[in-house]
Amino acid sequence: EQQVYTSGLHSNRPPFTFQTSEWEKLAKPVLSGSAWGYIHGNAGAGSTYTKNLASFSKYSIVPRRLVPSLKDAQGNELFSNASSTVLGEKLNFPIACAPVGVQKIFNSAGESAASRAAASIGVPYILSTASSTSIEDVAKASGEGGQRWYQLYWPAREHDDITISMLNRAKKAGYTALFVTLDTFVLGWRPSDMDNGYNPFLHADRIGVEIGFTDPIFRAKFKEEHGYDIDEDAKTHPIDTEGGSLSKAAQEWTKVVFPGHSKSWNDIKFLQEHWDGPIVLKGIQSVADAQKAVEAGVQGIVVSNHGGRQQDGGVPSLAVLPKIVDAVGEKIDVLFDSGVRCGADVIKAVALGAKCVLVGRPYIYGLALGGEEGVRHVLRALCGEIVMGMHLAGLRTLEDVDRDILVRDYDLF
């Protein structure tokens, strides 16, 4: 990403600004009211979201001086190296694209464009169960070299056959790690979506149900129960262009993936029996749950509050990160998300012990603004800022990025 910086200095203009704080503002007018409400909206009064963003400014980076730069084989000076190993895979940068559903509502190029952009710069892409493109099509788009992980909205145990089917599809299509989201067994209380009467999973164009509609087991079950095909369902139930779906199949799929709270820690075994790669539990916010994750034998957790979209009045995700790392960081990979908006935020989360940081809304704003190119721009900007931020602070590799480089604001004055 040294390249992005130098090319900028040689008067190449980006597709849109490098100022990370502007992306959200620029995206608003290009999105429909309901798509904007969906991405920007939060749980309840938005207090978890607000605290997520504010939490990063509670820490400041203390730079080191007279640290000689890294050099390549020819002796040329290099910027810092931000590569690491996460879940057994080598990453060029300590970030990944967070799973975000229904990406076609932000840009018709959707998940294919986003995953292609991620693959082109070596950032893993996590595909959501709520995506508007199938598991197989995203695999094709991200291609041979694309690192891809699969996020599971875990159906109720009565639908184990559908869960197994999704896991097998993901494995076959080259998704190497499984992220199981634990905080969204029902969708949160989201006033913006309720005001708009908007549920993207029941939307008339049915793009929120693509993974279910392409699932052979779900299709077969639907046919057995109703006596006709899912594709027939689309014809027999006219599309309501106001947004409320009349599709029985979409409603049934939504019930499968947002099934209420029917599982406990013992059920993790079932996933381990049917998935042979790393399993990561997303949505952990307490030390006690992190310890349960270790006991359950998973390989990682994501310290995440879903970007403040589920629990209102919740703790900012960054605040719980250090305690969780202290408790389990030696035993499993601790990943982090919620509120990351720029390269310095990533450095701070890594300094507090995160192995990898998931970026949510920012790359979706990039998708809205410029499709594949827009996502690439956002990811390159973030990677560039991470590397430059480390370089300026005298942090040559991620090993140097530890808690000693941070001060808490109450220590400052």
Site for ligand FNR, rule CB under 6 A: 38-39, 52, 98-101, 128, 130, 151, 181, 282, 304, 306-307, 309, 337-340, 358-361
Of residues 125 and 222, the one with the C-beta less far from ligand FNR = 125
- Find where tokens 């499984």 sit: 178
Of residues 80 and 369, the one with the C-beta less far from ligand FNR = 369
- CB 79 → ligand FNR: shortest distance, Å? 25
Of residues 361 and 380, the one with the C-beta less far from ligand FNR = 361
Backbone angles phi, psi at 91, to 5 degrees: -115, 140
- CB 197 → ligand FNR: shortest distance, Å? 17
Of residues 110 and 339, the one with the C-beta less far from ligand FNR = 339
- CB 317 → ligand FNR: shortest distance, Å? 8
Q: Could you tell me which residues come within 8 angstroms of residue 9 by beta carbon, excluding any fewer than 6 positions away?
A: none
**CB-closest chain residue to ligand FNR:** 360
Q: Which one from 159, 237, 274, 306 is the annotated catalytic residue?
A: 306
Of residues 35 and 79, the one with the C-beta less far from ligand FNR = 35
The question of whether 10 is a catalytic residue gets the answer no
- CB 131 → ligand FNR: shortest distance, Å? 7
- CB 361 → ligand FNR: shortest distance, Å? 4
Catalytic residue ranges: 306
